[in-house]
């Protein structure tokens, strides 16, 4: 399976739960997202040890954090990611709502720089950055910051500072760690 081979898996909502997929498909009729989108973000069908959730509207972070507690999640992070995606935003002070071993923690990250200039998506550039053939400070900060949130939330680091150092080390050693 994908999960066993790559430690990662994607399953379309249509395969996971067809009725939820049908409700999501009503978006063009409503002209906006429905609460079903929010519900889908809370799903943890494989009972992952640690979950990361992003919200577009910061006011929803407390609600998602509370829902994770109510659902019995032990390790979960909720934050306003980039465009609502689970991606750390280095150009912002990001407020993290974390459940770590069942304990509720709030942490605000430091702003690391300015927002990047809009770029046209370019798969070759992304691959070059991954291979170390090109540099993109913003991308590296977003990647290592997101990894640090996961490391801290999953209790693989004692502090966010330690998590950030570990994530930066992982980034520098990515070829060795992944055997590529």
CATH among 3.30.450.40, 3.40.630.10, 3.40.190.10, 3.40.1030.10 for 42-178? 3.40.1030.10
Question: Has residue 1 got a pLDDT over 80?
Answer: no
pTM: 0.87
Question: Has residue 11 got a pLDDT over 90?
Answer: no
Residue 104: name the closest of 157, 143, 64 by CA: 64
Please tell me the number of Cα atoms within 13 Å of 64 on its side-chain side. 27
* DSSP code per residue over 32-84: S--HHHHHHHT--TT--S-EEEEESSGGGHHHHHHHHHHTT-SSEEEEE-GGG
The whole-number pLDDT of residue 180 equals: 60
Point out the least confidently predicted range of 18-27, 94-103, 117-126: 117-126
Q: pLDDT tens digit string along 154-177?
A: 999 999 999 999 999 999 999 888
Residues of the chain with CATH 3.40.1030.10: 42-178
């Amino acid at each position: 399976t994908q999960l066993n081979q790559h430690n990662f898996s994607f399953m379309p909502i249509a395969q996971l739960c067809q009725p939820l997929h049908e409700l999501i498909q009503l978006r063009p009729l409503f002209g906006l997202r429905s609460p079903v989108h929010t519900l889908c973000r809370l799903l943890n069908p494989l009972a992952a040890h640690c979950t990361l959730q992003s919200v577009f509207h910061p006011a929803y972070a407390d609600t998602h954090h509370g829902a994770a507690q109510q659902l019995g999640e032990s390790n979960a992070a909720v934050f306003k990611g980039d465009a609502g995606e689970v991606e750390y935003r280095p150009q912002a002070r990001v407020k993290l709502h974390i459940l770590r071993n069942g304990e509720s923690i709030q942490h605000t990250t430091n702003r690391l720089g300015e927002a990047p200039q809009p770029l046209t998506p370019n798969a070759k550039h992304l691959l070059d950055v991954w291979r170390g053939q090109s540099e993109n400070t913003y991308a590296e900060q977003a990647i290592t910051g997101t990894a640090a949130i996961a490391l801290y939330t999953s209790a693989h680091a004692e502090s966010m500072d330690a998590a950030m150092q570990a994530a930066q080390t992982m980034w520098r050693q990515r070829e060795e760690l992944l055997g590529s």
